[in-house]
Chains A and B, each alone.
Chain A
Amino acid sequence: MQIFHRSANTIFKLSIFGSLLVVGGLLYVMNAVESSSWVTRQDQIITQPVQFSHARHVGGNGIDCRYCHTSVETSAFAGIPPTKTCMNCHSEIFSQASYLRPVRASFRTNVSLHWNRVHDLPDFVYFNHSIHVNKGIGCSTCHGRVDQMPLVVQVQSLQMQWCLNCHRHPERYVRPRADVFRMDYAYPTDQVALGKRLVAEYHIKGPADLTSCSTCHR
């Protein structure tokens, strides 16, 4: 006796392929969500307690990155300036500006400003600014044209895949040490030739070393 109607064959086939499609689709969606800017916060606006504009300070006034991010050449952490650094200038200029009230309050009450972190790597990643800067990786390579950003946004995904692009092919991104802090640096047309020379000159390690897990994960 036949329990199932003939059409059941089609239904079963449909449901088998359908479920495969659903699983595949789910995986695709998960991957898309994972790499979306909603998760990575790429290009997302993050508000800050003070209306601080990098465009004004870097682009307009031409202040060097290292005036505020003092430890970028010596430490893993580039450093966020203490309130004192702001007050070096702002005790003289715009000393009464209303939008600088939080800064003055911080200096007066000795309570730190609480900035919202824009570039945030997971806690199991140990990124070190000093070695990148010393090996000729420019600020703008990862942080973009900060001198044109009124409010800093993250311009790269900061996902591992993105890190590995460079760790596998450092010659594509390395620039002369003298130009590391230049915001308007443009890669030359013969970047790969220059890069290869700089990789040799700066003793940048090969991909086998740079992609060993413990290079970044400890």
Chain B
Amino acid sequence: MSEEHKIDLAAIRARLAGSNGPEYWRSLEELSESQGFQEILQREFPSRASEWLDPVGRRSFLKLMGASLALAGVTACTKQPLEQIVPYVTQPEEIILGRPLYFATAMTMGGVSTGLLVESNEGRPTKIEGNVLHPESLGATTGYAQGSVLSLYDPDRAKTATYLGDDKPWKSFVGAMQTLMQVKRASKGAGLRILTETVVSPSLADQLQQLLTDYPNAKWHQYEQTGRDHVRAGAKQAFGRYVDMRYHFERADVILSLNADFLNCGPGLLRYARDFADHRRITGPDSTMSRLYVAESALTNTGAAADHRWPMRPSQIGPFAAAVAAAVGVAGVTPSSGLSADLQKQAAAVARDLQQHRGASIVIAGEDQPPAVHVLAHALNTALGNAGTTVVYTDPVEANPVDQLESLRELVADMNASKVDLLIILGGNPVYTAPADLPFNAALSKVAMRVHLASHFNETSANCEWHVPETHYLEAWGDGRAFDGTISIAQPLIAPLYEGKSAHEVLAALSDAPDRSGYQIVREFWMRQFAAGQGPSAPAAAAVPATADKTKARAGGPMQARMGTAGPVTSAAPAAGATPLAATLAASAAAEPAPGPGDDPFTWFWRKVLNDGVMADTAYAPLAVSFSGTIPPLPPAPPAGPGLEFIYRLDPTTYDGRFANNGWLQELPKPLTRLTWDNAVVISPATAEQFGFVTRYAYQGGEHGQALVDLVELTLDGRTVKAPVWVMPGHADGCATLYLGYGRTRAGHVGNGTGYNANLIRTSTAAWGGSGLQVKKLDEEYHLASIEGHYSMQGRGFVQVATLEAFRKNPAFVKEAVETPSSGDTMFDPAEHPYLGYAWAMSIDLNACVACGTCVIACQAENNIPVVGKDQVMAGREMHWLRVDRYFQGTLENPAVYAQPVPCQQCENAPCELVCPVGATVHSSEGLNDMVYNRCVGTRYCSNNCPYKVRRFNFLLYQDWNTPSLKFVRNPDVTVRSRGVMEKCTYCVQRIQEAKIESEKQNRKVRDGEIVTACQAVCPTDAIIFGDINDPASRVSKLKAQTRNYGLLAELNTRPRTTYLALLKNPNPELAATAPVNS
């Protein structure tokens, strides 16, 4: 790099102030109009992208080139190697070779289980889809679930059990445990501790309960970095017991989020995103929309979707909530004085709006907010009449809800006091995730025998005698409860690849029947529940259809399930609605009776549950809880001082660090910051100026996306960590957001050494946020790979926005803003290419998109897209076929934020096709821009001529052709591309062809909705719809007929098949909108 460009925030401000009307920008770099940025705009790829980066001299380069030229023609003459066909010895009945099978299962993470449908090709799970029958998924999945299939094949996974580092067979582990448990029997389990993650599995809870019954002196602790501690505590303070909230965003006309990113984190996020989008779906001028107010510190997906967004320090959120509560008239609230007059005014307006929508509004508090703010939110919901309508309270999904931080603290104290001599850690990585002031690792060393069950030999395993490899969820039997209580059975898709064992099996190894398999344990548990449900009064329970009456029916019945009668499972939640599963099972089975008298009813029930992936009617009934009425005082405002306020957030791609070794998730650009491969300390531009931080972009027309940022030393309570700084427009001033889940030392080859570890300064007293964070600028630089500037299309009107009001006045506002040439404006004779059969097209509703980025990773999983690595991302060579562009509009302090997924637009007049010298990209009869990899010679002219910059070139050999386990994850229906080949989105042509072939075999046309592209399938909000526009009744045709429909860069007469539906905002007329949208 020969030059650097520094971002001058003052100049940017002046520019923004000077501009009028809507102006969109993507990055600070773009706004600064740097020379490098100007240069990059003129190029198809960053120049560095096409450079030879490895330290190879010019001479050897020429030699290589000469040799490859000579060989280029000859390669075509190579014979294909002889291949073998290896059939089964005895073929399983259900397998038709060449056709995938789909199995329903469930993934449990962060204290909630989500139903999935997994594609299996000859026994290899290859692609995760959502389960349409599951109440959270409804067919969608999270990005984590999409990436999880790669974790299954991670070559760094632990393969055998080890004792002090030596490989041991499972039998010796069982023997060792049996010997230890013999000793423990005498002491009734004194000194035995079990540490689990959040348990939502009824069968695992039952096993733990059994263990605690057999060994009464033993203790069960739970700790997982999920951020639910304050939510739990708030609910308990408000209602006197642990309850879970199930929000109904589809019924909420006004929503106030208090630092809650409900669209992108926490249990139920998929369903919440869907419900939220459903209530904002526009069909015409008569449609209505909800209104979302967000008060938040960091810019989140929820904030980006807001109609009004106020950035504020975390400590201001409480007073803001109090001001709203006081204005609404909640008893016992004292409005705090620390709120600015402007925010007071906003709070009053929000309160008025909430009051006008009593019973149809929601107030939701964020995970980092103190319990008092959660209580305030509950008080507001109660006062507004939302409780029971838009906010439904249920039994907790967790089998045994506890304050997990307290639980860990207790365990560490016991370990330090040498009260623990056998610690079984089932999953998780507490040495890495525990707060720094609870020296878990040091305390752990004092335990005589430590056992760790984990998929990788991680930081915790390193300090344990025994390490047992944990099965992936696709390898083991299990069960779990969804956010609304619905039970799913997780069935394995593949036998354990290595000698993995599940938590069920490790617990069995401690019991009298050590050889019981996970299948036996889970199945027998449900058999018992089912038998109990079939008892004498079962018909009565089954005959009662209304959910409210079910509670009565089960309370007195003799079919109390074992887990409903004793132990911490219920003792923690002893209130009226304790959860005997049996009755609900009876109802569930009654709804679907066995087909004939000869069939075993349980087998029928079991098969049905496995087939559907959900146990019908097992969602929790609403609880009648009443708000306690007392509102605890808010924590005092943090003392004025040089330190910053801060909040922690789980990383949007690596979560708590468990996905740190997952290349797909590492390279998935994080929503809004667009960072890959790193976490950062995120602060606002004003705070950056205050500390003198500078973001530089090194360029020589090249390293675009390679941001040189300052490295800072963060100090909190005497602990320090070095971290890079990322300046984020829209972030609240005077505070910092720290992302967890990075800086791991024993993650594996992919995850080691990425990012910084915020847990090193995290304390249990300020576990999710606090104040007094000292920031010291170091004289060091750090390279961050952010793709925010990649593939820029400079300053054109990509996102069309209007207010709902303006749209009602002028429904065709988009048509006026976007010039669309008529179909006759072409040199070609339209009669030559009439599109008589199908005409595939896509519609993307910007009003529904919540910028989560799951479509990007789903596309990666479906289309065998390689991971390129941080250096290559910085060189602009990431391979994602689909990107989610993010645009800002307005001021640096509080810009409006828009997101726009951009796949290949499949132009009818495609500029790429005209310039290919070898006919490698050509038009199909159905309007697709086909890309023929085997013809491509890599001239890259097509990419140069593509106005949307959606083509990706394999500059290097990115595919891993060698690691055997990674070959399993590939989709057999998509070519694995090699070096030197251009590739791009094909609308998932393999899915199109499969559906076409199936329909033709049945002599019919492809039905609308039969073809679902990978991005469409995972979209939680149904923003992406694919179909045939030659069929006027298809969903996509109807969407394209809307007045909001517009094509990206349609003025170029490319006639894109992918079109967008304009974004609408619904601001409160009383308040100034966040950004000057078209109105």
Residues of chain B lying within 8 A (CB to CB) of residue A81? 87
Is B88 touching A82 in the complex (CB atoms < 8 A)?
Answer: yes
Is B989 touching A83 in the complex (CB atoms < 8 A)?
Answer: no
A135 CB-CB contact with B under 8 Å:
yes
Partner-contacting stretch, out of A51-59, A120-128, A184-192 = A120-128
Is B98 touching A77 in the complex (CB atoms < 8 A)?
Answer: yes
Interchain nearest-CB distance for B985 vs A (Å): 12
Interchain nearest-CB distance for A130 vs B (Å): 6
Contact of A116 among B82, B88, B91, B99 (CB under 8 A): B82
Q: A34-B77, A214-B928 are in contact. Are A75 and B98 (CB under 8 A)?
A: yes
Residues of chain B lying within 8 A (CB to CB) of residue A34? 76-77
Contact of A114 among B79, B84, B91 (CB under 8 A): B84
With CB as the reference atom, state the residue of chain B lying closest to A213: B930
- A41 and B82 CA atoms in complex are apart in Å by 10
Q: A75-B99, A84-B89, A117-B83 are in contact. Are A134 and B922 (CB under 8 A)?
A: no
Is B97 touching A122 in the complex (CB atoms < 8 A)?
Answer: no
Residues of chain A lying within 8 A (CB to CB) of residue B76? 30, 34
Interchain nearest-CB distance for B71 vs A (Å): 13
With CB as the reference atom, state the residue of chain A lying closest to B99: A75
With CB as the reference atom, state the residue of chain A lying closest to B988: A218
Would you call the interface of chain B mostly helix, strand, loop, or mixed? loop
Contact of A217 among B73, B837, B934, B1001 (CB under 8 A): B934
Residues of chain B lying within 8 A (CB to CB) of residue A214? 924, 928, 930, 986, 989, 992-993
Is A117 touching B85 in the complex (CB atoms < 8 A)?
Answer: yes
Is A106 touching B89 in the complex (CB atoms < 8 A)?
Answer: yes
Chain B: how many interface residues by the 8 Å CB criterion? 42
Interchain nearest-CB distance for A188 vs B (Å): 24
Is A82 touching B90 in the complex (CB atoms < 8 A)?
Answer: yes
A46 CB-CB contact with B under 8 Å:
yes
Residues of chain B lying within 8 A (CB to CB) of residue A10? none
Partner-contacting stretch, out of A11-19, A91-99, A140-148, A201-209 = A201-209
Q: A128-B997, A130-B1001, A213-B932 are in contact. Are A74 and B88 (CB under 8 A)?
A: no
Interchain nearest-CB distance for B930 vs A (Å): 4
Query: Which residues of chain B (1029-1069) have a CB below 8 Å from chain A?
Result: none
Residues of chain A lying within 8 A (CB to CB) of residue B930? 212-214, 217
Residues of chain B lying within 8 A (CB to CB) of residue A38? 79
A165 CB-CB contact with B under 8 Å:
no
Residues of chain A lying within 8 A (CB to CB) of residue B993? 126, 128, 214-215, 218
Residues of chain A lying within 8 A (CB to CB) of residue B976? 123
Query: Which residues of chain A (61-96) have a CB below 8 Å from chain B?
Result: 70-71, 74-77, 79-84
Query: Which residues of chain B (408-424) have a CB below 8 Å from chain A?
Result: none
Is A82 touching B91 in the complex (CB atoms < 8 A)?
Answer: yes
Contact of A124 among B925, B975, B1000 (CB under 8 A): B975
**B990-1021 Cβ-contact flags toward A at 8 Å (1 or 0):** 10110001001101000000000000000000
Residues of chain B lying within 8 A (CB to CB) of residue A122? 80, 934
**A107-118 Cβ-contact flags toward B at 8 Å (1 or 0):** 100111111110
- A117 and B80 CA atoms in complex are apart in Å by 11
Q: A122-B934, A212-B926 are in contact. Are A205 and B837 (CB under 8 A)?
A: yes
Interchain nearest-CB distance for B352 vs A (Å): 56
Is B837 touching A209 in the complex (CB atoms < 8 A)?
Answer: yes
Max chain B CB contacts within 10 Å: which of A34, A120, A214? A214
- A135 and B98 CA atoms in complex are apart in Å by 19
Is A115 touching B84 in the complex (CB atoms < 8 A)?
Answer: yes
With CB as the reference atom, state the residue of chain A lying closest to B919: A213
Residues of chain A lying within 8 A (CB to CB) of residue B23? none
- A38 and B98 CA atoms in complex are apart in Å by 29
**B926-937 Cβ-contact flags toward A at 8 Å (1 or 0):** 101010111000
With CB as the reference atom, state the residue of chain A lying closest to B1003: A203
**B221-252 Cβ-contact flags toward A at 8 Å (1 or 0):** 00000000000000000000000000000000
With CB as the reference atom, state the residue of chain A lying closest to B86: A112
Interchain nearest-CB distance for B584 vs A (Å): 39
Interchain nearest-CB distance for B474 vs A (Å): 24
With CB as the reference atom, state the residue of chain A lying closest to B78: A39
A131 CB-CB contact with B under 8 Å:
yes
Residues of chain B lying within 8 A (CB to CB) of residue A80? 85, 87
Residues of chain B lying within 8 A (CB to CB) of residue A75? 96-99
B442 CB-CB contact with A under 8 Å:
no
- A113 and B922 CA atoms in complex are apart in Å by 42
With CB as the reference atom, state the residue of chain A lying closest to B1002: A134
A33 CB-CB contact with B under 8 Å:
yes
Query: Which residues of chain A (170-218) have a CB below 8 Å from chain B?
Result: 203, 205, 208-209, 212-215, 217-218
Residues of chain A lying within 8 A (CB to CB) of residue B1003? 203
With CB as the reference atom, state the residue of chain A lying closest to B833: A208
With CB as the reference atom, state the residue of chain A lying closest to B928: A214
B974 CB-CB contact with A under 8 Å:
yes
Residues of chain B lying within 8 A (CB to CB) of residue A111? 89
Is B90 touching A83 in the complex (CB atoms < 8 A)?
Answer: yes
Is B997 touching A131 in the complex (CB atoms < 8 A)?
Answer: yes
Is B86 touching A113 in the complex (CB atoms < 8 A)?
Answer: yes
Residues of chain A lying within 8 A (CB to CB) of residue B84? 114-117
Is A126 touching B1000 in the complex (CB atoms < 8 A)?
Answer: no
Is B87 touching A112 in the complex (CB atoms < 8 A)?
Answer: yes
Interchain nearest-CB distance for A211 vs B (Å): 8
Q: A34-B76, A124-B934, A212-B930 are in contact. Are A79 and B997 (CB under 8 A)?
A: no
Residues of chain B lying within 8 A (CB to CB) of residue A107? 89
Is A126 touching B82 in the complex (CB atoms < 8 A)?
Answer: no
Is B1001 touching A33 in the complex (CB atoms < 8 A)?
Answer: no
Residues of chain A lying within 8 A (CB to CB) of residue B990? 126, 218
Interchain nearest-CB distance for A174 vs B (Å): 14
Is B975 touching A218 in the complex (CB atoms < 8 A)?
Answer: yes
Query: Which residues of chain B (175-220) have a CB below 8 Å from chain A?
Result: none
Is B77 touching A33 in the complex (CB atoms < 8 A)?
Answer: yes
- A76 and B974 CA atoms in complex are apart in Å by 14
Max chain A CB contacts within 10 Å: which of B76, B97, B837, B926? B97
Is B89 touching A112 in the complex (CB atoms < 8 A)?
Answer: yes
B403 CB-CB contact with A under 8 Å:
no
Interchain nearest-CB distance for A46 vs B (Å): 7
Residues of chain B lying within 8 A (CB to CB) of residue A41? 79
Max chain A CB contacts within 10 Å: which of B98, B926, B974, B990? B98
Residues of chain B lying within 8 A (CB to CB) of residue A123? 975-976
With CB as the reference atom, state the residue of chain A lying closest to B122: A77
14 intermolecular pairs with C-beta atoms under 8 Å apart: A38-B79, A75-B97, A82-B87, A106-B89, A113-B86, A115-B85, A116-B82, A117-B85, A123-B975, A123-B976, A212-B924, A212-B926, A213-B932, A218-B974
Q: A71-B99, A212-B928 are in contact. List 9 more A-B contacts (CB 8 A).
A: A74-B99, A75-B99, A76-B99, A77-B98, A80-B85, A113-B87, A123-B975, A124-B975, A135-B1000
